[in-house]
Amino acid sequence: MSIITKLALAAGLATALSSAVLAQDVSGKVIGFSQIGSESGWRAAETAVTRQQAEERGVDLKFADAQQKQENQIKAIRGFIAQGVDAILVAPVVATGWDDVLAEAKEAEIPVVLLDRGVDAPEDLYLTSVASDQVKEGRVAGEWLVEAVGDEDCNVVELQGTVGSTPAINRKAGFEEAIAGHDNITISQSQTGDFTRSKGKEVMEAFIKASNNAADICAVYAHNDDMAVGAIQAIKDAGLKPGEDILVVSIDAVPDIFSAIAAGEANATVELTPNMAGPAFDALAAYWADGTEPEKFIITESKLYTADSDPQGEYERRKDLGY
Amino acid sequence: MTMRRALSRMANPQLLALVGVLLINWILFPNFFRITWQDGRLFGSVIDVLNRGAPVAILAIGMVGVIATKGVDLSVGAVMAVAGAVAATLVVAGYPAPVAVVAALLVGLLCGLWNGFLVAVLDIQPIVATLVLMVAGRGIAQLITEGFIVTFNDPLLVFIGTGSLLGLPMATVIAIAMLVLVTLLVRKTAIGLFIEAVGVNRAAATLAGIRSRMLLMLVYGLSGLCAAVAGLIVAGDIRGADANNAGLWLELDAILAVVIGGTSLLGGRFSVPLAVVGALIIQAMNTGILVSGFPPEFNLIVKAALIFLVLIIQSPLATRVVVVKRPVREAGK
Amino acid sequence: MGGTGYALEARGVVKIFGNHVALDAVDFGLRAGEVHALLGENGAGKSTLIKILTGAYQPDGGEVLVDGQPVSLDTPQQAQALGIGTVYQEVNLLPNRSVAENLFLGHQPTWFGLTDRRKMERDSRAILKRYGLDIDPASELGAHSVAVQQIVAIARAVELSGKVLILDEPTASLDRNEVERLFEIIRDLKAHGLAIVFITHFLEQVFAVSDYVTVLRNGRLIDTRKLDDVTRTDVVRLMLGKDIAFSGATGLADARPTGEVLLDFTNFGRKRSVHPFNLTIHKGEVIGVAGLLGSGRTEMARIMFGADAADEGEVKIAGKPTSISRPTDAIAHGFGFCPEDRKAEGIFGDLSVRENIIIALQGKLGWFSALTRDEQMEIAGKFGEAMDIRAASLDMPVKLLSGGNQQKVILSRWLATDPAFLILDEPTRGIDVGAHAEIVRTINRLRDEGLALVVISSEIDEVVAYSSRIVVMRDRELVAELSGENISPGVIVQAIANHREGTPT
């Protein structure tokens, strides 16, 4: 059994558990949330959703923005400990250097839940961590493409994230895993678009020129939606129809990709849910109810959205979350 | 005589380097020079170089004056983001597009004048003075856009970023227009000479009766204005103002373009057209890397190696060895 | 071979830079318990000699002896180890470290390998007390006045070396009280047997603390004298090399026809720079400015031109009160200024000869009425020819020209603006004989054409030759105005040395 499947199982288990304990609640609790900052639209949405979740569940959320600095996060966590909060959520900006402050929280018997990224610290220093499985995201995107093209030959161009970044590595690996064994699908070109629209557009332009004016391209796989949005514009500028002449699949599920899906210009996206807080609150509720130790790694769902999943409605639901 | 002068012009190291990079691209990708006519515009990799290189070229047009005064403007990337954010937010809020464009240009100009004030009046070192806005500018842009990519479909803004005129991409047309205007501004007036004088020796320039403060305000203001133009192009290109990423690190590309264009960071002699050639060299490399199919892990190494080569080609030693010196003009009559 | 009694001695020291002889067989001897002043105008070789004595330079000939033994000083550290310490004009300590750290930097007392801060500060307090300083050794050095920093620097040098102390213009940025305090310390160190070299431009200070004086000129030793045996006038004469024997024989004393008044400076001055002075300048006359380096002559020129703004007094141009607070103001009124430091403030090294000549005229014309290239060529050609500038091309960078030709370029720059009044600060320093003559000829020609000129020069013969009147600066003050038959080297030297002796009438 591969690690991936183990993780997937664990995720299923966690979901099952959380639905079982949904009766218990966290209302009236004071919970501190140390957020990294607002460097991307997704991050802003995570903050918005966390606030939303806290309000729905009657949690008194103390929010601290660290502006990309670990020292600010450590300061904020110490502040939470001093205030005697019931629990602490942290979206850690880096992986190392947390041992001391986590130990202080443990000392004060305050459970800590890590959101969307892990840390290099002994596992007993925090209650659990809630994160997406980036490899799975890539795999879901790849599986969609395998199904969409059937037996036809398909050259895929790949817009990678920032070279060397974890999501870029993982999303690439997951996608390659999914298309492995399907010899009709090959990645013909792969370049980095730095996760940005303008680079996505620029790289796609070059891909089109280098592939006989896109005659040789059947699909584009972008590691995030922003690059896909840029690529869609490049495809249009080349006089082609994105979504028909070239299939577009990407990851994140930001509002703008849903408008593109609704317009028929993109085909599919895999959600990186900004709702990391929901599972975290569930785990805390269970823990407080009867001392249930949650799994150490709670994996969020990687849901696929296509033209069949009411893209216009999804757009409306998301457009005010701060993406 | 004209023939010989034209030839010796061609022999300058920047143009040689550009030709060299383009030839490498051609070897790696035989269709590099293929240009077709499509939907009323030219279409091809060379056009991509002209189009994608335009923002950095425009930044370089503003930056070259600043560097010639022995300064540097680190804030241009952030000012691009601010200008894009201003224009996008205004059109989304329902203001007419021309108002949004003018407002964005004015904000860029103001940012530049602010830098000029810090450098010329408060005598803060340029690298520090412009660092302030480099950091704060992106924050201001994020405040304006409230942290998300403000998308728009305004025809004017989109035209600035993606339209075409006479078959050329609009960005290229704008860059050419700015190149001509700024070159005329500095060479048909005494401003270019004064910029060089201040850059070579500010104390002597002041004693010779040059209003160096006003001049510094002018060059930094121009740099801010150019950054705003580049910001409008980049925002129009993706139909959105991306405060986090618009113009990110482009100040470094602009500085590099100016340096490749032969202007010393120590100030003095400068050339606007050659700075634009520098920007084209950088973009030709970028596009070449993209069409050549190298794995992206090699991008930075390939780029660094090429830049190193270009700088060696135009180093004084290589110039002496390779290029035949132009005959020195006779004095007097 | 001891027995000379010198703690530190230079014998026949020669130093050559390129083809320029900076020191030509100079002898210099310093005894324990004496203060020895070293004098000379800029470029006389003082600092070269000091650098050889402290190991920063190696001599090309001759030898350095410590206590009568020849030594080879390869590094300043070596000189320090032999007991020779130096304090430079700009305190080169670390302003952001504590006083104690500065005193002990590089040889901190240690305790098992760690700096023993307590002991260091205790020792520092004791040392500082000896110098009459009651300050907290743990305080930051930069928080104290320049005078205190200077004393800390001296204390450090003495503690480190202990035999010879070289003070290079230590009083340049101190006020009178601080200077007095410094002198007490010098006298005290002298009484403790230190040998001290004292470099300054201020004659009073030489006479206040020194026992001996050595004068250098153009890299040569002029003389070493016991101060008890000489007057100030003697010293000035040694420095400037003027033989007072021919004083009075100028032949130019006859009153020139003076034109109408062009400029009238009344109580014109700037705090910490130049005391208020009065000066009236006529068309068609040359005002010579004499005075030693640091006497305020350059400062006077700068406020006249608006390079530094005057903060008191007023100036009338052709009878009308005017404000000159920036060079552009001055230039608009037809002023021109050739600064003393040609390289730092005069030429634009990378720009062409042509651009260097037309730049002030273009500045006057403004940003938008640019001279075309042809017009520039014509103007540069015309003035270049008139001044006989020797350049292969008007398009070559001016930095490739000789000093004399660069000076002619700057003069041409101002002549191109059609000026009414020119200020020339040391126009003939460091240039070859031919260019020198050309510039003197030009000064005479311009005067005859009706221009007003102020010329600052250390060359007394030269000043005497072309000046209609001469003003003498001393201690940042205009102390004498000489005219008629008082324009003679003798009177000038006396006025520089001491105006109470020298002021006529």
Are residue C142 and residue C32 in the same domain, yes or no? yes
Are residue C123 and residue C173 in the same domain, yes or no? yes
3-state secondary structure C69-111: EEECCCCHHHHHHCCEEEECCCCCCCCCCEHHHHHHCCCCCEE
Residue C453 belongs to some domain of the structure: yes
Are residue C135 and residue C227 in the same domain, yes or no? yes
Q: At C230, list the tokens.
A: 């000489």
Q: Which residues contact B161 (CB under 8 A, 6 or more apart)?
A: B170, B171, B232, B233, B234, B235, B236, B237, B238, B239
Are residue C102 and residue C40 in the same domain, yes or no? yes
- Residues A211-232: tens digit of each pLDDT: 888 888 999 999 999 999 999 9
- Residues C359-410: tens digit of each pLDDT: 999 999 999 999 999 999 999 999 988 888 888 889 999 988 888 889 999 9
Domains defined for chain B, CATH in brackets: 44-293 (1.10.3470)
C359 to chain B: which residues are within 8 Å by CB? 193, 197, 205, 208, 210
Residue C1 belongs to some domain of the structure: no
* Shortest alpha-carbon distance between residue B11 and chain C (Å): 20
pLDDT score, position C244? 44
Q: Using an 8 Å Cβ cutoff, are A115 and A300 in contact?
A: no
Phi-psi region at A110: left, alpha or beta (left = phi > 0; alpha = psi -120 to 50):
beta
Which of B293, B190, B226 is CA-nearest to residue C371? Answer: B190
Touch of C by B (3+ CB pairs closer than 8 Å) = yes
Q: At C443, list the tokens.
A: 């000064």
- Residues B172-206: tens digit of each pLDDT: 999 999 999 999 999 999 999 999 999 999 999 99
- Residues C293-342: tens digit of each pLDDT: 778 889 999 999 999 999 999 999 998 999 999 999 999 999 999 998 88
Indicate the residue of B200, B207, B331 with minimum beta-carbon distance to C339: B207
Inter-CA distances, A105 with A78, A83, A239, C169, Å? 8, 12, 58, 63
Report CB contact under 8 Å: B331, C366: no
- Residues C248-292: tens digit of each pLDDT: 333 444 445 567 889 999 999 998 788 999 999 999 999 999 988
The confidence band for C120, taking pLDDT boundaries of 50, 70 and 90, is: confident
Report CB contact under 8 Å: B162, A238: no
In A13-101 the beta strands, taken as DSSP E runs, fall at 30-35, 60-65, 87-90
Are residue C204 and residue C285 in the same domain, yes or no? no
* Shortest alpha-carbon distance between residue B69 and chain C (Å): 13
Are residue C23 and residue C166 in the same domain, yes or no? yes
B188 to chain C: which residues are within 8 Å by CB? 370
pLDDT at position C500 over 90: no
> Which positions in chain B have a beta carbon within 8 angstroms of at least one beta carbon in chain C?
188-191, 193-194, 196-197, 200-201, 203-211, 268-269, 328-333
Nearest residue in chain B measured CA to CA from A204: B290
User: Is the Cβ of B12 closer than 8 Å to some Cβ of chain A?
Assistant: no
Are residue C125 and residue C208 in the same domain, yes or no? yes
In the listed set C380, C400, C418, which residue is the last one of a domain according to the structure? C418
Q: Tell me the CATH number at C501.
A: 3.40.50.300
In the listed set C418, C445, C465, which residue is the last one of a domain according to the structure? C418
Indicate the residue of A40, A192, A213 with minimum beta-carbon distance to B296: A192
pLDDT at position A11 over 50: no
Cα–Cα dist B333/B312, whole Å: 37
Cα–Cα dist C224/C38, whole Å: 9
Are residue C319 and residue C389 in the same domain, yes or no? no
Inter-CA distances, C367 with C345, C360, C361, Å? 21, 12, 11
Which residue range forms the structural domain that includes residue C504? 259-334+419-505
* Shortest alpha-carbon distance between residue B174 and chain C (Å): 25
Are residue C100 and residue C178 in the same domain, yes or no? yes
Which of C409, B32, B162, C145 is CA-nearest to residue A197? Answer: B162
On the 0-12 / 13-18 / 19+ scale of CB atoms within 10 A, C225 is middle
How confident is the model over A281-288, as a mean pLDDT? 92
Residue C489 belongs to some domain of the structure: yes
> H or E element: which one contains A306?
strand A304-306
C350 to chain B: which residues are within 8 Å by CB? 196, 200, 268-269
Q: Per residue in B273-285, is it b (16+ CB within 10 Å) or e — as a string?
A: bbbbbbbbbbbbb
pLDDT score, position C503? 41
Q: Which residues contact A58 (CB under 8 A, 6 or more apart)?
A: A25, A26, A27, A28
In C132-211 the beta strands, taken as DSSP E runs, fall at 164-168, 195-199
User: Under DSSP, is residue B61 helix (H, G, I), strand (E, B) or coil?
Assistant: helix
> Which positions in chain A have a beta carbon within 8 angstroms of at least one beta carbon in chain B?
38-41, 44, 160, 163-164, 189-192, 194-198, 201-203, 205-207, 209-210, 213, 226, 229-230, 233, 237-239, 256, 322-323
* Shortest alpha-carbon distance between residue B309 and chain C (Å): 26
C345 to chain B: which residues are within 8 Å by CB? 201, 203-204, 207
Cα–Cα dist B52/A200, whole Å: 12
Domains defined for chain A, CATH in brackets: 3-132+273-301 (3.40.50.2300), 134-271 (3.40.50.2300)
Q: Using an 8 Å Cβ cutoff, are C305 and C252 in contact?
A: no
Are residue C197 and residue C300 in the same domain, yes or no? no
Report CB contact under 8 Å: B162, A207: no
Q: Using an 8 Å Cβ cutoff, are C216 and C26 in contact?
A: yes
Residue C250 belongs to some domain of the structure: no
Report CB contact under 8 Å: A239, B38: yes
Apex C160 CA angle, C157 and C164, nearest 5: 60
Which residue in the block uniquely carries the two structure tokens 């005329």?
Answer: B184
In the listed set C372, C403, C418, which residue is the last one of a domain according to the structure? C418
How confident is the model over A195-205, as a mean pLDDT? 93
Q: Which residues contact C505 (CB under 8 A, 6 or more apart)?
A: none
Residue C71 belongs to some domain of the structure: yes
Are residue C150 and residue C57 in the same domain, yes or no? yes
pLDDT score, position C145? 78
B171 to chain A: which residues are within 8 Å by CB? none
Phi-psi region at A214: left, alpha or beta (left = phi > 0; alpha = psi -120 to 50):
left
Report CB contact under 8 Å: C364, B209: yes
Amino acid at B6: A
String of DSSP letters for C240-297: HT--GGGTTTTS--SPPPP--EEEEEEEEEETTTEEEEEEEEETT-EEEEE--TTSSH
Total domains in the fold of chain C: 3
Touch of C by A (3+ CB pairs closer than 8 Å) = no
The ipTM (two decimal places) reads 0.85
Residue C125 belongs to some domain of the structure: yes
Cα–Cα dist A114/A98, whole Å: 11
How confident is the model over C434-458, as a mean pLDDT? 88
Cα–Cα dist C172/C294, whole Å: 9
Residue C253 belongs to some domain of the structure: no
B194 to chain C: which residues are within 8 Å by CB? 362-363, 367
* Shortest alpha-carbon distance between residue C395 and chain B (Å): 7
How high does pLDDT run on average in chain B?
89
Are residue C136 and residue C224 in the same domain, yes or no? yes
- Residues B202-253: tens digit of each pLDDT: 999 999 999 999 999 999 999 999 999 999 999 999 999 988 889 989 999 9
Residue C252 belongs to some domain of the structure: no
Lowest mean pLDDT among A70-74, B71-75, C178-182: C178-182
